[in-house]
Structure 1
Amino acid sequence: MGKKTWRCSIVCVCLGIFTVISGLVMIPLLTIYINHMIAKEVTLEEGTFVYKAWVDPPFPIYFEFFFFDILNPEEVTTMNQKMAVRQRGPYTYRLLSNKKNVTFNPNDTVSYRQVDTYIFDRERSVGPESDTFLTLNVILLTMFNTVRYEYEFIKIMTELLADSVDDNKLFVRLSVREILWGYEDTILVKVKEELKILGIPFDDHFGFFYQLNGTDDGLWTIDSGKRSSSTNFNILSWNGNNMLDYWTTDQSNMINGTDGNLFHPFVKKSDQPPFFFSQLCRSMSVVFQKETSTHGIDLYRFVHPRNIFGSPDQNPGNEGFCTPSGTCTPSGLYNISVCRKGSPFSISMPHFLYADQSVIDGVEGIKPVESLHESYIDVMQDIGCVLKTERKYQINMLVRQNPSFEIVKDITEVYFPIFWFNESTVVTDDWAKFIKSSYITPVGIASDVPYISIGAGVLVTFISSIAIYRQRRKSKVKKFATPSENTSLLTNN
């Protein structure tokens, strides 16, 4: 019986050591296998985990708009006082974003069009779309800006055109619907009438998102990820171009990264993943801020660096956004007039967050707060899915003094905030459960197998070693006790 126990203990020790070694070997092999399976599942291919979420996003996407209502129009126009505003909002729209004409190309790329439809959500809004605000007369100021450096007779004709309509004033009252989706402008109507005589078609409507609802912004081609997971979802071309032509340097004209809703898998804290925002006419980057979580899922939070819209002396990469070349906006803004038909608009963070203090002080009622106005993107590190995001940007208009026009002859130059928006999304409870059950839990169990194997092997080895030790000790005691008894007997004899 003792020999059987001894042999069993030896076998158990060997088995335990083998189990430990197997567990140690499994750690890198299983990691490679899991990473391979993840890379396969995040490839844009019909039937994969990511493809289903990409082609028809399951998370609700909201656009929240916050408008700046002018409080002192008379004081501004008659006494040249600083503009005072109050923020009103949010006015929220649900964004339905669907991929159309999805084409898998032979070179492992995917082409598609993305149709965006905005639906007003009254329950998430402070008021109806019919709410009105006193805001800048964008068309009039754009017209003044356009002819700023033209011949004097053109300026005189522009002044006469402005005087011929009722809306020849610095401020106009418009509704949410009109500001965003368009309205018939009296100046544009007048221009249309004049051009009609010459047979030139002209649109007499204006809105910041005019004719964008229910439409796509062009043909996109992106990397499917089959060649390398590191380039997954990267935009290769937009409307047939792999570069923009708005800016003055190649770096600024580059279309970098993804669309910001998905990133490549295995994101690191040291990464600075870029994304391209077509409505803002540029690519932007984010940097790691902290670890966070939502619905119990661990995430990496990325935010814009503070100098994302910094002047070239703060961020040399922004030199190309100075248009015309060498003409830069104050730090914290960049001019998008080159991609918005010459309109004197600029982009900044909400409430001019991180902008020059002179810009912030230019309008009374502006209060930048980092926790309220900072953009962030929360990413699942392994698969690169964005589960929560708030991308916040502000549309501003430069109001400039111009002695050729009575309305702005004595006005103080100011960057006026028209509105800011927050494009937000967060994973739903159902999808969080789905991600946990289909990905996190299986991967967690698989990842634990080597360590369970090592633990079990160590335990078996330890117990078996104790058994062997006790068997050896018992054998020694028995061997020592036998001669003792014999000696005693001989003595007695």
Structure 2
Amino acid sequence: MGKKTWRCSILCLCAGILTFVAGIVMIPLLRIYINNMIAKEVTLEEGTFVYDAWKEPPFPIYFEFYFFDVLNPEEVSTLNKKIEVKQRGPYTYSLTSIKNNITFNANGTVSYREPYTYVFDRSRSVGPESDTFTTVNVILLTMFNTIRYEYEFIKVMTELLADSVNDNKLFIRLSVHDIIWGYEDTILLKVKEELKELGIPFDDHFGFFYKLNNTDDGLWTIDSGKRDSANNFDIRFWNGKSMLDFWSTEESNMINGTDGNLFHPFVKKTDHPPFFFSELCRSMTVDFQRDSTVQGIDTYRFTHPRDIFDNPDQNPANDGFCTPLNNCPPSGLYNISVCRKGSPFSVSMPHFLYGDDRLINAIEGMKPDASLHETFIDIMHDIGCVLRTERKYQINMLVRNNPSFEIVKDIEDVYFPVFWFNESTIVTDDWADFIRSSYLTPVHIASYIPYISIAVGVVVTFTSSIAIHRQRKKSKDKMQENQDGTPSERTSLLINDDDSQSERTKPLVIQ
């Protein structure tokens, strides 16, 4: 029985050590296995975890518009007062985008188109699309800006054209629908009538999203991740180009990163993931800000660096966005007129957040607040999936002094905030549950296996070691007992008997 117990203890000790070592070895091996599985599941091919979500985003996407209503248009026009505005909004549109014409190329890329459909959501808006606001006369100011350096007789002809229409004013009243989707402008209509006699077609409508509903912004070609998951979803070509041609430096013209809806897997806090925003004609980066959670799922929150739109004096990387070359707006702005047909538009964060104080102070009613106006992206870092995003940007128009035109001859240059928008999305409850059940729960269970193995190994090894120690001690005590020859109780009695017998046989001596 002792030998069997001894063997069992030895076997248990060996098993415990092996289980402990196996757990230690499993930690990196299991991580490698899980990473390989993730890399496979985020590859763009039919049947993978990410393909269906990429093809047709399962999360609702909203475009929220906030407009700046001018409260004192007459005082600005006649008394040269500071423009005073009040923010109105949100006016919200739901966005549907389903990729089509998907083509898997032999070089590991995927090409596709992605039409956008905007539908007004009254339940998420403060009013109907018919709500009106007083805003700057974009067409008139664009016309003044375009001919700023032309011959004098052209300026005279332009002023005569402006005087011939009713909307010859610095500020006009337009509806939400007009500003976004377009309206018939009286100046453009006049030009159209003149050009019609010459047989030249001309569009008399203008809107910031004019003709963009139910259309796509071109042909995209991105990396599928089949060859290297580190390049997942990276844009290779946009409308056949690997580089833009709007800006003055190669760095500024680069098309970097993804489209901002998905990123490559295994995002680290030290990363600065770039994304390309076609509506704003440039690539941008985000930096890690803090840990966050979305629907109970751990994420990393990334935001734009504060100097993303800074003047090149503060951020030399922005030198290429100064157009014309070396003509840089104040910090907090970048000029997009070169990619918007020469219109004097610029982009900033809402309310000129992190911009030059001169921008904020020039308009009465600007209230920059990072908690309300900062762009952020919450990324599920293992698989690179964006679970929540709010991309917030403001469209501004330069109202420039021009002594050649009565309307603007006395005003000071000012960047007027026309509106800002928030492109937002958040994972739904159903998809959060799906992510937990199909990915997080299995991964968490699997990740516990090595530590369970280590714990079992430690317990078995410790228990077996104690058992072996006790058995060895017991065996050692027996051996010591035998070596010392210590008489037992029976032996002791026999010796006493002999002594007694010896005493009895002694002869009696009489003295």
Q: Which residue of 2 aligns with 1:335?
A: 335
Query: Which residue type is aligned with residue 399 of structure 1?
Result: V
| Alignment gaps of 5+ in structure 1 | none
Q: Which residue of 1 aligns with 2:190?
A: 190
Query: Which residue type is aligned with residue 329 of structure 1?
Result: P
SS in 1 for 2:419: strand
Shift in Å at residue 474 of structure 1? 2.3
Q: Which residue of 1 aligns with 2:233?
A: 233
Shift in Å at residue 480 of structure 1? 4.1
Matched residue count: 493
SS in 2 for 1:173: strand
Q: Which residue of 1 aligns with 2:364?
A: 364
For residues 105 and 480 of structure 2, what CA distance do their matches in structure 1 show? Answer: 84
Q: Which residue of 2 aligns with 1:262?
A: 262
Shift in Å at residue 27 of structure 1? 1.2
For residues 117 and 460 of structure 1, what CA distance do their matches in structure 2 show? Answer: 63
The 4+ residue runs of structure 1 with deviation greater than 3 A are: 477-485, 487-492
Query: Which residue type is aligned with residue 19 of structure 2?
Result: T
Q: Which residue of 2 aligns with 1:280?
A: 280
Aligned pairs for 1:349-360 (under 5 A) are: 349-360=349-360
2:379 paired with 1:391: no
Aligned pairs for 1:60-75 (under 5 A) are: 60-75=60-75
Shift in Å at residue 479 of structure 1? 3.7
SS in 2 for 1:33: helix
Query: Which residue type is aligned with residue 123 of structure 1?
Result: S
SS in 2 for 1:123: helix
For residues 480 and 436 of structure 1, what CA distance do their matches in structure 2 show? Answer: 63
Q: Which residue of 1 aligns with 2:80?
A: 80
SS in 1 for 2:114: strand
Shift in Å at residue 22 of structure 1? 1.1
Query: Which residue type is aligned with residue 127 of structure 1?
Result: G
For residues 23 and 487 of structure 1, what CA distance do their matches in structure 2 show? Answer: 52
Query: Which residue type is aligned with residue 353 of structure 2?
Result: L
- Deviation digits for residues 80-128 of structure 1, max 9, x if unmatched? 0000000010001111011010100011000000111011111110001
SS in 1 for 2:402: coil
Shift in Å at residue 476 of structure 1? 2.8
Q: Which residue of 1 aligns with 2:123?
A: 123
- Deviation digits for residues 137-168 of structure 1, max 9, x if unmatched? 00000001011000000000000000010000
For residues 291 and 491 of structure 2, what CA distance do their matches in structure 1 show? Answer: 81
Aligned pairs for 1:41-52 (under 5 A) are: 41-52=41-52
For residues 478 and 96 of structure 1, what CA distance do their matches in structure 2 show? Answer: 85
Shift in Å at residue 475 of structure 1? 2.3
Q: Which residue of 2 aligns with 1:97?
A: 97
SS in 2 for 1:450: helix
Shift in Å at residue 491 of structure 1? 4.2
Q: Which residue of 2 aligns with 1:145?
A: 145
Q: Which residue of 1 aligns with 2:487?
A: 486
Shift in Å at residue 446 of structure 1? 1.1
Calculate the TM-score normalised by the size of structure 1: 0.99
For residues 152 and 463 of structure 2, what CA distance do their matches in structure 1 show? Answer: 99
Query: Which residue type is aligned with residue 353 of structure 1?
Result: L
For residues 463 and 374 of structure 1, what CA distance do their matches in structure 2 show? Answer: 58
Two-structure CA RMSD over aligned residues (Å)? 1.0
Query: Which residue type is aligned with residue 26 of structure 1?
Result: M
Shift in Å at residue 277 of structure 1? 0.3
Q: Which residue of 2 aligns with 1:107?
A: 107
SS in 2 for 1:341: coil
Query: Which residue type is aligned with residue 402 of structure 1?
Result: N
- Deviation digits for residues 43-85 of structure 1, max 9, x if unmatched? 0011111111000000011111000000001110110000000
Shift in Å at residue 29 of structure 1? 1.2
Shift in Å at residue 490 of structure 1? 4.0
Query: Which residue type is aligned with residue 75 of structure 1?
Result: E
Give aligned-pair identity as a percent. Answer: 74
Q: Which residue of 2 aligns with 1:200?
A: 200
| Alignment gaps of 5+ in structure 2 | 496-511
2:37 paired with 1:37: yes
Shift in Å at residue 456 of structure 1? 0.7
For residues 92 and 485 of structure 2, what CA distance do their matches in structure 1 show? Answer: 97
For residues 93 and 484 of structure 1, what CA distance do their matches in structure 2 show? Answer: 100
Q: Which residue of 2 aligns with 1:434?
A: 434
Q: Which residue of 1 aligns with 2:508?
A: none
Calculate the TM-score normalised by the size of structure 2: 0.95
For structure 1, which segment, 14-23 or 345-354, has the greater mean C-alpha deviation from structure 2 after superposition? 14-23
SS in 1 for 2:3: helix
Q: Which residue of 2 aligns with 1:164?
A: 164
Shift in Å at residue 392 of structure 1? 0.2
Q: Which residue of 1 aligns with 2:454?
A: 454
Shift in Å at residue 295 of structure 1? 1.1
For residues 280 and 238 of structure 1, what CA distance do their matches in structure 2 show? Answer: 14
For residues 314 and 269 of structure 1, what CA distance do their matches in structure 2 show? Answer: 24
Shift in Å at residue 211 of structure 1? 0.4
For residues 370 and 85 of structure 2, what CA distance do their matches in structure 1 show? Answer: 20
Query: Which residue type is aligned with residue 467 of structure 2?
Result: A
Query: Which residue type is aligned with residue 452 of structure 2?
Result: I
| Rg comparison, structure with higher value | 2
SS in 2 for 1:49: coil
Shift in Å at residue 487 of structure 1? 5.2
Q: Which residue of 2 aligns with 1:306?
A: 306
Shift in Å at residue 489 of structure 1? 4.2
For residues 127 and 466 of structure 2, what CA distance do their matches in structure 1 show? Answer: 76
For residues 51 and 484 of structure 1, what CA distance do their matches in structure 2 show? Answer: 83
For residues 92 and 366 of structure 2, what CA distance do their matches in structure 1 show? Answer: 21
For residues 267 and 144 of structure 2, what CA distance do their matches in structure 1 show? Answer: 48
For residues 201 and 467 of structure 1, what CA distance do their matches in structure 2 show? Answer: 97
